[in-house]
Amino acid sequence: MAAKKKTAQQKYGDGTTYRSEGKTIRRVSSPGTKRGDAYCSRTVSQKRTPKVKVRRKAWGCSGQRSIKK
């Protein structure tokens, strides 16, 4: 039986994780901050893949700016 496929929102909506020095670190969004503005301006010209769409929504991106929800 095939496993159910997760939607992009389920997979990337709460942030992605990576491993560094044996620890799992979660990338979380911080809308309305300088970090959020940097993320939004960096991703504004990226191809709109499902992952990019979901992550930009989580960061509150509107163009190159991050808006606090």
Is 24 domain-assigned? Answer: no
How many structural domains are present in the chain? Answer: 1
d(CA 27, CA 32): 16
Mean model confidence pLDDT for the chain = 89
Is 4 domain-assigned? Answer: no
Is 1 domain-assigned? Answer: no
Is 16 domain-assigned? Answer: no
* pLDDT single digits (tens) 21-52: 999 988 888 899 999 999 999 999 999 999 99
Q: Which residue range forms the structural domain that includes residue 41?
A: 31-69
Model's pTM, two decimal places?
A: 0.78
**Token pair 């808006």: residue:** 67
Is 3 domain-assigned? Answer: no
Specify the pLDDT at position 53.
94
Amino acid at site 7: T
Is 53 domain-assigned? Answer: yes
Is 41 domain-assigned? Answer: yes
Is 40 domain-assigned? Answer: yes
